Structure 1
Amino acid sequence: MYLEHYGLSEPPFRITPHTDFFFAGANRGATLEALLYAISHDEGIVKISGEVGSGKTMLCRVLMERLPASVVVIYLANPSLSREDILYALADELGIPPLDNCRPATVMRALQEKLVALYAEGKQVVVLIDEAHAMPVETLEEIRLLSNLESNRHKLLQLVLFGQPELDATLSRPDMRQLRERITHNFRLEPLVQTDIAEYLDFRMRAAGYRGPSVFTPEAIGRIARVSAGLTRRINILADKALLASFANGSHQVGSREIEAAIRDAEFSELPKSSRRPRASHALSWASGGAVVVLFALAVWQYLFRPTEPSVTPQTNATSPDPSQMRLPATPVESGIPGEAVSTTPLLDKLLEESRPWLQSVASDRWFIQLFTAIDANDPTQVESFLANIRNAGLEMGQVRVYRLTSGDKPRYGILYGDYVSRQEAVNVLNTLPSEVKRYRPYPRQALRLKLEGKTMNKD
């Protein structure tokens, strides 16, 4: 109803998970990157927990889109399956012929044979279980048994559990100790704080086509923060109703009056005490579990951007090392001209400059391949190392583009490849990339999503 009033192309605050509206702020983007890394490089069970309406299903859907084509994704949305039913559900999803009236052991054996065949084809099978907190205890025990399916050297099935805090309570029971020990990574989606909510509202509006100044006043944002408890579903409901109230009043701004009308109409139920107030700061959220995201981001960065030069051979005489074998730190080199220094990132600097015209002119409906996004890239020499790696792998550097985003005072670099008319064309090219490049888990992406992502692009 209010779309034309605000110049919107679609509703900005739908409560259904629309992946084009995935908000990467408030550690959501870092959590997604950590999840991708955990699934691709680990062999344990992964758990993501969060309060009702915190964005778990949205994260799950975006994760499904970002996983590479070599991953077979099974999404289970029905948590009330019995332990036998979950076996039949997995067999059906994997295309195993009907096994009605077979014993669970027979179904498990058929599953293992199918998983071994897929593994031989270079496929990885990932099971995403939504609403896992509602699973019967017996079914959770079956999850533990499924995690035992393995070849001689690798797990055949990666399991990811999405659930409310009740899942944590269930897993804390003594009889759940064996399953709890199999969970190698725990992530928690924390509520948004007020500054996050301001960014979130602005992001969703602009993702829906809005091009004007901020619609929500600081007073309105503060009121939303208090009433929503930082939960994205409640934020969406309040923002949608407030926009409608503003439209009815003939205004283009949402203030306290519109928010109060939205609050009265929403009639939210009482939250558990632990969820009534959003986290006081990002530091607190890290202390309560978000720190694992930061550690994972650091691990991804160090793993992917490790130096390509051979390590230095230890010297027999530790007190007198050979100067020719010493590695110097990555600092600017004197150019011979007083006051000037030679850049230590010439390839990065060159690509940043050459990429600007394309980034400014590319049509929103074009597609490309996102090779990698650096998290908190304070050291550009690490990006230089990554670019050298993909160049050495034989990638056509004329198709490589680099952008720089700034969030606050923290820069991030993104590496793109190609320019395609459709997602399928991008996928086709992605499948032909060298294996050395594929290990960085590239994925197809539309230019529109990149334009909406950053506030500042390629600015030094």
Structure 2
Amino acid sequence: MHYYEYWSLKKAPFDNVPDPSMYVSSHTSSENAIAETLFAVEEGNECLAVIVGDVGLGKTMSLRMVIDSLNPDKYKIAYIVNPDMSFIQLLREIIGQLTGERCELKKKTDLLEAFNKLLFDSAAQGKKVVVFVDEANAMTPSNLEKMRLLTNLQPDEVNLFTIVLAGQLEFAKRLAHPKRANLFQRIGTYCTVEKIGSRELVKNYVETRLGLAGGTQKIFTDDAIDLLWEYSEHGVPRLINKICKLSLKAGETNGFREIGGEVVSQVAERFQRLNGHVAPKKTSRIAVNAETVPEPISVPVKENVIAFDGLSLAASRTPKTEPDSMEESLSETKATMQASSVLAGGEDAKIKFDPEPQASESGQPEAAQLLNPESERDLLAEMSDKPRIEQEIEIDRYQVNVNIPPEVIDEFNHSTEEHCVKLAGVLAAQTMQRYPRLTAAWGVDPLAIWSEIREVILARLRQGQNGTAR
């Protein structure tokens, strides 16, 4: 028997999936985002609409609600869930979804021509094209600019298609950058999805989802709702769903007839606050009737503990630290490079950077020491008299002195273009790993910084083709 059947429910009420049938209208900012985006598509004749918000607030659900609200007789829709691809691949995916057939075109000019023809053919059929891009923060700055240029492929008097971009807060920061003024000025509607606004709305959210799942009885007590409001960071839907789901499972395991504050408290205390969010730690998982629950963290032992099939929620364990986000996002690139031995010289062939500055007696880093390149440059000069490339990169307010050793230059000279791009990507990743300050500030987009560093390294190596480099 599924855990939700114990509570006389017909389906799981709190799965973290964008199921439109489980949408609750008490999420005011999501309601506004849906309404304004529909206006941009249906009435506003806008070429761009944007939805931004922090993780776990319901951006994807908002997109799905917009898509479900559009009449298929009037609109052709493409929905890109992972835009972390080349622009050629992105165009092929869009065209393939709009036509319902696999796109075999490979040249950019052919793809643009096919997309343009598709727009006018759809207009002739009385249909408008709408392209939805989720996780738009994963797009490279170059692809973002190319998406803007796509909006030029239509007549002046009417927009034949609308692009709807949804992304996290760092995406909002990228859009607001002066370099992207041309893109920002074309945005017709700009919506921000926020948390569920009050304890009463959280209660309505929980009870409505239970009702949509077939529930007819009150399951969560008032004190449980009070604690749920607190532990969910005051209304983060993803955290509400996670805590409620685990609480229902704990209640089923222990034979409870309702979920009280003690259950919610012990479940929620398995999570820690990290950068303003409640998140599970990366430790060993606990199996619960073939279902996986989030990893535990250290919590104080209580006299009354709630068990998951004999495993205590209050058991104390030592948490592990979160993995580095850029290391995860670039793992595939680095694994490819290691497997192909692109860095043929091993550790000594890696790009060299200055170490992080030491803290002063006050505990704060000395401003004059930040990213000081002199000692590293002198050391490299002693290591080899072969030609090397030095490049000073300005990232935000930091100056990073990049020294590319001869081994890397030689590898670049004898590699294919694809390998050169991957090599530059690995070097950019190493830069960021050596200098965590580059991504430490709130709202910084690590992918954008990585892409910027990679492009600078590539450009500098290519410039050296008439001298010591390719």
Could you say which TM-score interval applies, normalised by the shorter chain? 0.5 to 0.7
Query: 1:24, 1:30 within 8 Å by CA — same for their partners in 2?
Result: no
Partner secondary structure for residue 155 of structure 1: coil
The answer for the alignment partner of 2:141 in structure 1 is 137
Following superposition of structure 1 onto structure 2, how do residues 194-343 of structure 1 map, counting pairs within 5 Å? 194-212=199-217, 214-229=218-233, 230-265=235-270, 267-268=271-272, 270-272=274-276
Deviation at 1:146, TM superposition (A): 1.1
Q: 2:37 aligns with which of 35, 38, 44?
A: 35
The answer for the alignment partner of 1:6 in structure 2 is 7
Distance 1:244 1:94, change over 3 A: closer
Q: Are 1:185 and 2:189 matched, yes or no?
A: yes
| Alpha-carbon distance in structure 1 between the residues aligned to 2:227 and 2:31 | 25
Distance 1:97 1:225, change over 3 A: closer
Deviation at 1:148, TM superposition (A): 1.5
| Alpha-carbon distance in structure 1 between the residues aligned to 2:165 and 2:120 | 23
Q: 2:105 aligns with which of 96, 100, 115?
A: 100
Query: 2:77, 2:98 within 8 Å by CA — same for their partners in 1?
Result: no
| Alpha-carbon distance in structure 2 between the residues aligned to 1:78 and 1:8 | 33
Give a deviation string over 1:224-279, Cα, whole Å, max 9, x none.
Answer: 112212111110000011112222332222112101221134x2551348x99xxx
Q: 1:49 aligns with which of 52, 62, 84?
A: 52
Q: Are 1:168 and 2:172 matched, yes or no?
A: yes
Partner secondary structure for residue 185 of structure 2: helix
Deviation at 1:81, TM superposition (A): 1.8
Partner secondary structure for residue 247 of structure 1: helix
Matching residue's letter, 1:33: A
Following superposition of structure 1 onto structure 2, how do residues 384-395 of structure 1 map, counting pairs within 5 Å? none
Distance 1:248 1:99, change over 3 A: closer
Distance 1:34 1:101, change over 3 A: closer
Query: 1:49, 1:189 within 8 Å by CA — same for their partners in 2?
Result: yes
Partner secondary structure for residue 166 of structure 1: helix
Query: 2:80, 2:133 within 8 Å by CA — same for their partners in 1?
Result: yes
Query: 1:82, 1:138 within 8 Å by CA — same for their partners in 2?
Result: no
Distance 1:82 1:112, change over 3 A: same
Distance 1:71 1:228, change over 3 A: same
| Alpha-carbon distance in structure 2 between the residues aligned to 1:172 and 1:30 | 21
The answer for the alignment partner of 1:125 in structure 2 is 129
Contiguous gaps of at least 5 residues in structure 1:
277-460
Query: 2:219, 2:257 within 8 Å by CA — same for their partners in 1?
Result: yes
| Alpha-carbon distance in structure 1 between the residues aligned to 2:102 and 2:10 | 45
Contiguous gaps of at least 5 residues in structure 2:
280-470
Deviation at 1:221, TM superposition (A): 1.4
Partner secondary structure for residue 125 of structure 1: strand
- RMSD, matched Cα: 2.0
The answer for the alignment partner of 1:281 in structure 2 is none
Query: 1:55, 1:232 within 8 Å by CA — same for their partners in 2?
Result: yes
Partner secondary structure for residue 267 of structure 2: helix
Query: 2:88, 2:106 within 8 Å by CA — same for their partners in 1?
Result: no
Q: Are 1:17 and 2:22 matched, yes or no?
A: no
| Alpha-carbon distance in structure 1 between the residues aligned to 2:180 and 2:272 | 33
Following superposition of structure 1 onto structure 2, how do residues 57-68 of structure 1 map, counting pairs within 5 Å? 57-68=60-71
| Alpha-carbon distance in structure 2 between the residues aligned to 1:261 and 1:98 | 51
Deviation at 1:151, TM superposition (A): 2.7
Return the index of the structure with the highest Cα Rg.
2
Deviation at 1:134, TM superposition (A): 1.2
Give a deviation string over 1:144-199, Cα, whole Å, max 9, x none.
Answer: 01111213521122000111111111112221111111112111111012111100
Identity of aligned residues (%): 28
| Alpha-carbon distance in structure 2 between the residues aligned to 1:48 and 1:247 | 38
Query: 1:148, 1:155 within 8 Å by CA — same for their partners in 2?
Result: no
Following superposition of structure 1 onto structure 2, how do residues 371-382 of structure 1 map, counting pairs within 5 Å? none
Partner secondary structure for residue 94 of structure 1: helix
Give a deviation string over 1:412-438, Cα, whole Å, max 9, x none.
Answer: xxxxxxxxxxxxxxxxxxxxxxxxxxx
| Alpha-carbon distance in structure 1 between the residues aligned to 2:13 and 2:103 | 43
Deviation at 1:32, TM superposition (A): 2.0
| Alpha-carbon distance in structure 2 between the residues aligned to 1:172 and 1:37 | 22
Deviation at 1:79, TM superposition (A): 1.8
Q: 1:81 aligns with which of 73, 80, 85?
A: 85
Query: 1:54, 1:233 within 8 Å by CA — same for their partners in 2?
Result: yes
TM-score, length-normalised on structure 2?
A: 0.55
Higher relative contact order (CA 8 A, sep 6+): 1
TM-score, length-normalised on structure 1?
A: 0.56
| Alpha-carbon distance in structure 1 between the residues aligned to 2:175 and 2:189 | 14
Matching residue's letter, 1:188: T
| Alpha-carbon distance in structure 1 between the residues aligned to 2:169 and 2:51 | 10
Deviation at 1:220, TM superposition (A): 1.5
Give a deviation string over 1:341-387, Cα, whole Å, max 9, x none.
Answer: xxxxxxxxxxxxxxxxxxxxxxxxxxxxxxxxxxxxxxxxxxxxxxx
Matching residue's letter, 1:55: G
Deviation at 1:99, TM superposition (A): 4.9
Query: 2:40, 2:188 within 8 Å by CA — same for their partners in 1?
Result: no
The answer for the alignment partner of 2:336 in structure 1 is none
- The count of corresponding residues between Structure 1 and Structure 2 is 272
| Alpha-carbon distance in structure 2 between the residues aligned to 1:173 and 1:151 | 28
